[in-house]
Amino acid sequence: MNLSIFFEPLNEDIFALLDKPRTLGAYIGRFTGKFPDWRSADIALIGVNEIRGRGEETASEIFPARAVRKKLYSLHKGAGRCNIVDLGNLRPGITLDDTYLRLKEIVEILISHNTIPVIIGGSHDLEYGQYMGYEHLERAVNMVAVDSSVDMSEDNDVPANKKQLRQILMHEPNYLFSLGQIGYQSYLVDPEVMATFEKLHFEAYRVGEVHRSIQEMEPVVRQADLLTFDIAAIRHQDAPGYTPANPFGLSGEEACQLCWYAGLSDQMTSLGIYEYDPEQDGQELTAMTIATMIWYFIEGFYHRKHETEFSSSKFTRYAVAFNNNPDRMTFFKSKVSEKWWMEVEPLSDEKSPRIVPCSYEDYLQAIKGEVPNRWILTQARIG
């Protein structure tokens, strides 16, 4: 399929000084004249200037990805390989729904060819299009959203970027197995929304929990097929390019750490970073933060260990006995990365066990005779 019809080529002028040796700009194949070979690429960058989800009447003429590209291209390449393309900017559809469908088609095609789309938006409701790109897989999908709020409003009068998670939950066919929310701030979230999360057995972590132990977020991210990141999750000091301003949130370093986890995960196949507003970013500090987040995602990707065969000699198996349900729990530890997984038995005999990422803390909790909350939530979702 000719993907170039969906994209606007990049302005060559902005890259004139960004092709210095050993920088990413010298290695990324970009759409300026000829469309790059996306089929053989590991990662494809996509700019989306769609902001009608914020309540704007038209798509923006200021491309959020432009400033991010300038910063990203100037960063030094890591020590490993680098097979990345920049497809340019996605042409918005006539309607917002048309843009969702265009993004869906692009994500679907790219992940079908094992190319990871990295989306630089645009309003956060675009994650709905990103999510729909997984419908063709015909299997359960895991999603993680990093955001200071939970965009699940039932109010029809609010902008689309305040209710896209409800769209995802109501989407048919339903192929969402788990939804993790990282970095939310309780005073920005309706308690009824969190009650819905609890009923659906989804994981949600307040920003304070991330501050206390960001390492506990690694298994949450490692389970996901797609990660979406609202820049409003980052405190204004580190990323001022969004409104309304918020002095609280993740640090830039924590945002980069989460993106490193995402890149490192064998299961992660798309990343979306949304709500960047260049007009609020006079010194382009947010652009630098986003560029660095993407840099860490890329570095993580090229450090993947491909740990999926739990019966192999690369894993150590631990069995923990219990006196009641469950009567035992099985854990797996990688001898290479030292990461942990656990096997969760279903409630129904008709369903198969599922091996999910966990932490060393989950294992320590189990040997104390306590069932980890991650295990309980996973079993409830399996049924």
What per-residue confidence (pLDDT) applies to 165?
A: 96
Same domain, 17 and 102: yes
Q: Which domain holds residue 332?
A: 315-382
100, with CB counted inside 10 A (0-12, 13-18, 19+), is buried
Domain end, chosen from 303, 331, 354, is at 303
Helical (H) or strand (E) element with 167: helix 164-170
* Domain termination residue (choose one: 270, 303, 336): 303
Q: Return the DSSP state at 133.
A: T
156 and 126 in a common domain: yes
Residue 308 lies in a domain: no
- Do 135 and 81 share a structural domain? yes
Tell whether 285 and 341 lie within a shared domain: no
Within 13 Å, how many C-alpha atoms sit on residue 114's CB side?
Answer: 5
> Do 225 and 348 belong together in one domain?
no
* Model confidence, pTM: 0.96
- Rounded to the nearest 10 degrees, what angle do helices 360-367 and 373-382 cross at? 100
Q: Single out the residue in 250, 268, 303 at which a domain terminates.
A: 303
Q: Are 87 and 34 in contact (CB under 8 A)?
A: no
Which own/partner pairs from 7-13 qualify as long-range (CB within 8 Å, at least 24 positions apart)? 7/31, 7/35, 7/46, 7/87, 7/88, 7/89, 7/90, 7/91, 8/88, 8/89, 8/90, 8/91, 9/33, 9/88, 10/69, 10/86, 10/88, 10/89
Sheet holding 354-358, edge to edge: 315-321, 328-334, 340-344, 354-358
Q: Is residue 310 part of a domain?
A: no
- Give pLDDT, residue 17: 63
| Residues forming beta bridges with residue 357, ordered by sequence position | 341
Q: What is the pLDDT along the chain (383 residues), one digit of tens a residue?
A: 789 999 999 987 766 666 677 889 889 999 988 999 999 999 999 999 999 999 887 766 667 899 999 999 999 998 888 999 999 999 999 999 999 999 999 999 999 999 999 999 899 999 999 999 999 998 999 999 999 999 999 998 999 999 999 999 999 999 999 999 999 999 999 999 999 999 999 999 999 999 999 999 999 999 999 999 999 999 999 999 999 999 999 999 999 999 999 999 999 999 999 999 999 998 999 999 999 999 999 999 999 999 888 888 899 999 999 877 677 899 999 999 999 999 998 877 778 889 999 999 999 999 998 999 999 999 999 98
Q: What's the pLDDT at 78?
A: 87
Say how many domains are in the chain. 2
Q: Is residue 191 part of a domain?
A: yes
**CATH code, domain carrying 32:** 3.40.800.10
Tokens of 149: 């709020």
148: in domain:
yes
Residue 309 belongs to a domain:
no
Residue 18 pLDDT:
65
pLDDT for position 312: 81
Residue showing tokens 């709905």: 128
360: three-class secondary structure by DSSP = helix
Q: What is the pLDDT of residue 308?
A: 82
Peptide bond into 372 cis (omega under 30): no
**CA separation for the pair 184, 188 (Å, rounded):** 8
Q: Answer yes or no: do 52 and 189 share one domain.
A: yes
Q: Is there a single domain that holds both residue 277 and residue 134? A: yes
Quick one: pLDDT at residue 21?
79
Please check whether residue 152 is in contact with residue 163, taking contact to mean a CB–CB distance below 8 angstroms: yes
* Same domain, yes or no: 115 and 25: yes
- 339 and 192 assigned to the same domain: no
Q: Residue 59 has what pLDDT?
A: 65
Pairing of strands 340-344, 328-334: antiparallel
Please work out, in degrees rounded to the nearest 5, the angle formed at the alpha carbon of residue 212 by the alpha carbons of 265 and 276. Answer: 60
Residue 83 shares a structural domain with residue 162: yes
Note whether 152 and 59 are same-domain residues.
Answer: yes
Helix (H, G, I), strand (E, B) or coil at 296: helix
CB 295 within 8 A of CB 304: no
114 lies in the same domain as 254: yes
